Chains A and B, each alone.
Chain A
Amino acid sequence: MADKKKTKIEKKTWLRLGAYLKKYTALILLTIVLAAAVVFFTLYIPILCGRAIDCMIGAGDVDFDGIANNLLQIAFCALACGVLQWIMNTVNNKITYSVVCDVRRDAFDTITELPLSYIDSHPHGGTVSRVISDVDQFADGLLLGFTQLFSGVMTILITLVFMVMIHPLIALIVVLLTPLSLFVASFIAKKTFTMFKLRSETNGELTAFINETVGGQQVIRAFSQEDETLAHFDEINDRLKKYSLRAIFFSSITNPATRFVNNIVYAAVGLTGALAAVAGSMTVGGLTSFLAYANQYTKPFNEISGVVTELQNALACAGRIFELIDEPRYTPDKENAPALTDVEGNIDLDNVEFSYTPDRELIKGLNLHAKKGQRIAIVGPTGCGKTTIINLLMRFYDVNGGTIRIDGQEIRDVTRKSLCGSYGMVLQDTWLLHGTIRDNIKMGREATDDEVIAAAKAAHAHSFIRRLPKGYDTVISDDGGALSAGQRQLLCIARVMLEIPPMLILDEATSSIDTRTELKIQQAFQTLMKGRTSFIVAHRLSTIKEADTILVMKAGKIIESGTHDELLKNGGFYANLWGSQFESADM
């Protein structure tokens, strides 16, 4: 049953692959023909060499015309083989890298249109490795694997034909003895598997330990635990040493062992060939060609056994990539959907239902009406659905039921781009683009330097930016590593300051900024929010006191709403929350 399913998936992967390769059908046919020709010429040369040697019987008995004739043929074969092989390699490269490029393009296309639900629930590293390393492995494995497989099979077949032509009986000996090397190789691989597993487990253990203790050096030194830590390190390191030695040694047996089998075949050919030569059924030149073949014959076998695993691996990689490419994208804009323009900022949520997973309902029957210019604050304990509302407003997630309208227009009826563009957004997650400070403020929009600086000043970011080594041209690498969380948040605020859209979303926008700077930014926020419908999610209650409406959420429902004073008067959940802030101060 499971097998059937697997073959079905494999079949589908093959079909998908076929679609990508179709564009290059002519090149693929060409490369197959070239491979056949290359193999033929390569293998024909030992025969010609044998014939040339047969022209040298002994002193005073050498057929120079025969030698010259054969050598000429060798030269022709070698040159032809060289040229054809070079063309073949170039063609293979072209096919491989073009397919890789095409697949990556499609994968990235999918990523830009993946629903946020996918991005939020799948580790980013996994998706990245599909686009990068899986594609690489699939290309190497599948396309190079194929050429190897094809050349390998051709080599075996043509060698066989040539050997039979020279001497069928000795050919039979070679055919019977060769599988021995395959058997030996797979036997060793099986035996060493457990040793490799032990090694990689211990290696993982050591890496985890190193991560933990190098990262936690401050704690280790604060508690003077250097010696104890080193002792623990030694214990794992010694174990790794033991397992590594075994794994490396036993796996390195494979080569000598197959080489040994090969040597036995060589000796057998030497013996039987020489006896046949004595009996007159074979020439010395024939024996020479035969020995050359015996030397090479096991090679394609070993390669093919490697290719099979490689192909399986490549197929699995391809399957993972296609899975990503086929991932359902977000619902596209409706046909002829209008752009959201001249936004007033009247937002209506009616009877909204939403959950991330079908079995755990989160928001149900949510109604919320924000008039132009109003400030709506959302408070509540962690996990109550505050951020979810933001996700729904910007259509990062679609509602399961009910409607969200802006100025009377359903947000699902307008283009996503215009919807997102109507909101200015500062999130708790201070994501920065890989680029300069300036790029990060501009975010793809047209703006003069003065405008950028004005925005940074408004966000109180100008003074720290100026102190950076290259000011606004400082390149932020690795997600802003060198900047503090607070500085990154200030940059995110400056982005919004540059061009203020008609509606605002501030999700814990000042959580990483110290309270004094926050107080200063609050003034900037006041100007920012003037005349704009704003949603504010905050942890610190002092920041939302001035909101027109405070919504108190608990478990996906709005349990209280009103102004700060009203809510305090009501003495409900909010009043409790507010009070608890000062409890400690009162003691």
Chain B
Amino acid sequence: MKNLFHYLKSYTLEAILGPLFKLLEAMFELFVPLVVADIIDRGIAAGDKSYIIGRSLILVALGVIGLVCSLTAQYFAARAAVGTSCSIRRSLYEHIQKLSFSDIDRAGIPTLITRLTGDVNQVQNGINLALRLLLRSPFVVFGAMIMAFTLDAKAALIFLAVIAVLSVIVFGIILGSVPAYKKVQSELDALTGTTRESLSGARVIRAFGMEDSESETFAKHNTSLKQRQQFAGKISALMNPMTFVILNLGIIALLQSGGNRVMTGALLTGEVVALYNYMTQILVELVKFANLIITITKAITCMQRIDAVIHTEPEMTFPETIPAETASAPAIEFRSVSVQYTEGSDPALSDVSFRIERGQTVGIIGGTGCGKSTLVSLIPRFYDVSAGEILVNGVNVREYPADKLRDKVGYVLQKALLFKGTIRSNLLYGTASATDADMTEAIAFAQGSDVLAAKENGLDSVVEQGGRNFSGGQRQRLTIARALVRKPEILILDDSASALDFATDAALRRTIRSLPERPTTLIVSQRTASIMDADQIIVLDDGKVVGIGTHSRLLETCDVYREIYESQYNTGNKSRQEA
């Protein structure tokens, strides 16, 4: 919450003026019953028509002033709310870009997106309503009571009693029904889940003859939802009748005592009318106020969730100064590297050591979940090691500024992600200075010339959100080209040729070997065919290195490698030979 005020600070003026004008409006509204009392007690009693006309004009004037005040208040409240929420959204976004991937993984991407969108909007709504109503409603309620006090101290006591009882009822019912509605919501979520499941799993459900049990689950949640809704409804259904009765009991008491006071001459008839009018104003404002509390509670919860993200200190810090590299050092060196994502879980990598000389091509292979992707993501320092160290050009990766380290690397991720824009804007990503010739060349290297040729507008062809107007293979080649445009020192291909056919994959590898810059290349793959011609192959199994060497050497010395190889390729030949 402290954070909220920090952001609201830039809109201090608006945040003060908004409620202030709202109070002014309420104040003018409170004058109305007094003016009406005057009309009755002086105008009508004396038969003074010009007085009546004058007072009526005052009523109109109060309406006009009220309108002006109210519009001013709405404007300032909207400005403060929108401005504050936009700055919150911005700092949240900026902060997310600084979080380590471990933090992002822990929070979950969908959660972060909800914080940036839905939660921020709730906060905006909360601020807006709070600035407009948080002061106004109590002001009108107590204002009415104070006005009543100025008219008749005894009547004010009736007001006090009515306000107290109404508050208990209104807040009791609204706040009391919150848990009941929460239960309704959770049952509704269950119902949604079952419905979605019955659609996404239609084939499996039918194949296993589970339709009846799914229908039963649905019926169970459906009936229970109905019961919970009726229960919650029963609580809310009490509100209007109860407040109505209480209010009218208050009016009865008011009129009863009013009669006595008029009899003794302590009150005029018009003043009784004014008291009656004040009484009717109270209820509306109390209901508004109770609903406001709910909106504000929601907004506060959202703000706390946003705060939790903003208060997550980025785990990684990067130095500012550029370290001195050693010319003779290997391009990449892992020294006893271990990685453990969460405490207590099995390590993703344990005790991994190897050296890669400059210009070498290295294959990394192993089963699903063996730690291949984790290993390469350590090089641009997406994650920090739990033990050991990683050196690039003889310098620990922790000593590089983020952009200096990452600019060395052309990283092609497993998931071929393109951004909305054009082919050009995607290729210029990270290499703003690239010329058209650079780009077409990179695309050619990535075996994507046909992709470009197939598009009417060439480099300016539109790329839709997530690149969905390209096929998987086309996307992969474009992401490879995006990495190649940078002419990186280190090229990482993380299973990024999986959607390419064997021939294209082979051609791609041939081209990469002949690149003029001779980048150090790491190829992660499940296919032996993609890595068997590498200078060295690192075989991973359950996060451990079980073999390093060339293809032919590993076939002799590494059981895991041989098994992988045979499972994909050689069994065919072998059985043919055996036959």
Contact of A53 among B237, B269, B506 (CB under 8 A): B269
A470 partner residues in chain B, CB cutoff 8 A? none
Q: Which residue of A lies closest to B44 (CB)?
A: A277
CB proximity to A under 8 Å, residues B130-164: 132
- Docked Cα-Cα span, A458 to B124, in Å, equals 55
Contact of B70 among A53, A100, A259, A583 (CB under 8 A): A259
Point out the residues of chain B lying under 8 angstroms from A416, CB to CB.
Answer: 206
CB neighbours (8 Å) of A224 from chain B are 402-403, 406-407, 430
Interface membership of A474, Cβ < 8 A: no
- Please state if A264 and B63 are interface contacts (CB–CB under 8 Å): yes
Query: Is there an interface contact between A582 and B569, defined as CB atoms closer than 8 Å?
Result: yes
B471-508: which have CB < 8 Å to A? 482, 486, 501-503, 505-506
How many interface residues does A have (CB within 8 Å)? 148
Residues of A contacting B229 with CB < 8 Å? 93, 97, 100
Contact between chains at A237 and B367 (CB < 8 Å): no
In-complex Cβ contact of B248 among A78, A206, A216 (8 A): A78
Q: Are A56 and B567 in contact (CB under 8 A)?
A: no
Inter-subunit contact A85/B59 (CB<8 Å): no
Which of A9-17, A306-314, A427-435, A550-558 forms contacts with chain B?
A: A427-435
Complex: how many Å from CA A249 to CA B238? 35
Q: Pick the contact of A108 from B55, B215, B251, B268 — CB < 8 Å?
A: B215
Q: How far is B135's CA from A229's CA once the two chains are assembled, in angstroms?
A: 40
CA distance A443 to B563 in the complex (A): 34
**Chain A residues closer than 8 Å to B256, beta-carbon distance:** 67, 71
Which A residues between 256 and 309 are near B, CB-CB below 8 angstroms?
256-257, 259-260, 263-264, 266-268, 270-271, 274-275, 277-278, 284, 287-288, 291-292, 295
| In the complex, chain B residues whose CB is within 8 Å of the CB of A587 | 506, 510, 533
Chain B residues in 8 Å Cβ range of A234? 90
- Which A residues touch B36, using CB under 8 A? 270, 291
Residues of A within 8 A of B75 (CB): 249
Alpha-carbon distance between A100 and B227 when the two chains are bound, in angstroms: 12
Alpha-carbon distance A434/B194, docked complex (angstroms):
8
User: Among A159-167, A359-367, A448-456, A512-520, which stretch is in contact with chain B?
Assistant: A512-520
B542 to chain A, nearest CB (A): 11
Q: Which residues of B contact A176 (CB under 8 A)?
A: none
CA A221 to CA B413, docked complex, whole Å: 12
- CA A67 – CA B382 in complex, angstroms? 82
A172 contacts the other chain (CB 8 A): no
Query: Could you tell me if A217 and B196 are in contact, using CB atoms closer than 8 angstroms?
Result: no
Q: How close is A376's CB to chain B, nearest CB, in angstroms?
A: 18
Contacting A at CB under 8 A, from B544-577, are 560, 563-564, 566-569, 571-572, 575
Interface residues of A in 80-128 (CB under 8 A from B): 81-83, 85-86, 89-90, 93-94, 97-98, 100-101, 104-105, 108-109, 111-114, 116, 119, 124, 127-128
A485 to B270, CA, bound (A): 79
| Contact assessment for B56 and A267 in the assembled complex, using a CB-CB cutoff below 8 Å | yes
Which residues of chain A have C-beta atoms less than 8 A from B193's C-beta?
434
Chain B residues 85 to 99 lying within 8 A of chain A, measured CB to CB, are 86, 89-90, 93-94, 96-98
Write out, one digit per residue, whether chain A residues 347-360 have a CB within 8 A of any chain B CB (1) or not (0).
Answer: 00000000000000
Bound-state CA distance A85–B241 (Å) is 6
A33 near B: Cβ within 8 Å? no
Contact status of A444 and B213, CB under 8 A, knowing A86-B237, A216-B419:
yes
CB < 8 Å neighbour of A85 from B213, B244, B367, B560: B244
Confirm or deny: B173 has a beta carbon within 8 angstroms of a beta carbon on chain A: no
Contact pattern, B 29-46, Cβ under 8 Å of A = 1, otherwise 0: 000100110011001100
Of A21-29, A238-246, A403-411, the segment with at least 4 beta carbons within 8 Å of chain B is A238-246
Is there contact, CB below 8 Å, between A240 and B86?
yes
The CA of A51 and the CA of B54, in the complex, are separated in Å by 27
A57 B244 Cβ-Cβ under 8 A: no
Contact status of A210 and B117, CB under 8 A, knowing A233-B93, A584-B505 = yes
Decide: B204 and A425 in contact? CB cutoff 8 A: yes
Asked whether A75 is an interface residue with its Cβ less than 8 Å from the other chain, the reply is: yes
Contact B234 A52 (CB under 8 A): no
- Contact check, A431 vs B78: say whether CB atoms are below 8 A apart: no
Please state if B262 and A132 are interface contacts (CB–CB under 8 Å). no
Q: Does any Cβ of A come within 8 Å of B233's Cβ?
A: yes
Per-residue A-contact encoding for B375-416, CB less than 8 Å = 1, 0 else: 001001010000000000000000000110011010101000
Contact A581 B198 (CB under 8 A): no
Chain B residues near A94 (CB-CB < 8 A): 230
Give A212 to B244 CA distance when docked, in angstroms: 52
With beta carbons under 8 angstroms apart, the residue of B59, B86, B409 that contacts A267 is: B59
Quick one: which of B79, B249, B419, B563 contacts A245, CB cutoff 8 A?
B79
Any B CB within 8 A of the CB of A207: yes
- Kindly state whether residue A447 has any CB partner on chain B within 8 Å: no
Question: A264 vs B568: C-alpha distance in the bound complex, in angstroms?
Answer: 86
Residue A332, interface by CB 8 Å: no
Residue A142 lies at the interface, judged by CB distance under 8 Å to chain B: no
- Residues of B near A278 (CB, < 8 A) are 43-44, 47, 49, 52
* Complex CA–CA separation, A78 to B245 (angstroms): 5
Q: Is the interface of B mostly helix, strand, loop or mixed?
A: helix
Q: Would you give the shortest CB distance from B218 to chain A, in whole angstroms? A: 5
**B13 in contact (CB, < 8 A):** no
Q: How many Å lie between the Cα of A96 and that of B117 in the bound state?
A: 33
Closest to A62 in B: B263
B27 contacts A by Cβ under 8 Å: no
A584 adjacent to B530 (CB under 8 Å): yes
CB distance from A442 to the nearest CB of B (A): 10
Tell yes or no: B313 within 8 A of A by CB: no
Q: Which of A59, A104, A105, A109 contacts B265 (CB 8 A)?
A: A59
Please determine whether A97 and B233 come into contact, CB atoms closer than 8 angstroms.
yes
Identify which of B225, B252, B409, B568 contacts A101 (C-beta below 8 A).
Answer: B225
Contact A433 B252 (CB under 8 A): no
Q: Which of B71, B112, B241 contacts A214 (CB 8 A)?
A: B112
Decide yes or no whether A420 CB sits under 8 A from chain B: yes
Produce 1/0 per residue, B104-116, CB < 8 A to A: 1000010011001
Docked pose: A284 CA to B90 CA in angstroms? 60
- B78 x A212 contact (CB < 8 A): no
- Which A residues, 314 to 373, have Cβ-Cβ distances below 8 Å to chain B? none
With A221-B402, A284-B44 known as contacts, the answer to whether A131 contacts B195 (CB < 8 A) is yes
- Given contacts A230-B93, A291-B36, are A90 and B237 in contact (CB under 8 A)? yes
Q: How far is the CA of A248 from the CA of B53 in the complex (A)?
A: 38
Known contacts being A111-B198, A271-B53, A514-B367, is A128 close to B192, with CB within 8 Å? yes
Q: Closest chain A residue to B563 by CB distance?
A: A516
Is B226 a contact of A284 with CB atoms below 8 Å?
no
In the complex, how many angstroms separate the beta carbon of A286 from the nearest chain B beta carbon?
11
* Cβ-defined partner of A93 (8 Å) among B89, B214, B234: B234
Q: Once the chains bind, are A287 and B204 in contact (CB under 8 Å)?
A: no
Q: In the assembly, what is the distance between CA of A42 and CA of B280, in Å?
A: 13
Q: Mark A195-223, 1 if CB is under 8 A from B, else 0.
A: 00000000000111111111111111111
Contact (Cβ within 8 A) A266 B248: no
Would B413 and A219 count as touching, CB distance under 8 A?
yes
Known interface pairs A217-B97, A270-B56; A93-B230 also in contact (CB < 8 Å): yes
Q: Are A542 and B203 touching (Cβ within 8 A)?
A: no
A75 contact set on B, CB distance < 8 A: 248-249, 252
A79 adjacent to chain B (CB < 8 Å): yes
The reply to whether A108 and B198 form a contact with Cβ atoms under 8 Å apart is yes
* Residue from A132, A244, A484, A517 within 8 A of B188 (CB atoms): A132
**Does B444 interact with chain A (Cβ within 8 Å)?**
no
Q: Can you pick out 16 interface pairs between chain A and chain B where the beta carbons lie within 8 Å of each other? A: A77-B248, A78-B244, A82-B244, A89-B233, A109-B215, A218-B382, A219-B419, A245-B83, A248-B82, A287-B44, A444-B209, A514-B367, A540-B568, A542-B572, A580-B501, A587-B506
Given A89-B240, A271-B52, output 16 extra A-B contacts at Cβ < 8 Å.
A45-B248, A58-B262, A59-B265, A78-B252, A113-B211, A214-B113, A220-B97, A249-B78, A256-B25, A284-B273, A291-B277, A295-B280, A519-B563, A542-B571, A542-B572, A583-B506
- Nearest 5 pairs of A and B residues by beta carbon: A223-B430, A59-B265, A263-B63, A89-B237, A78-B248
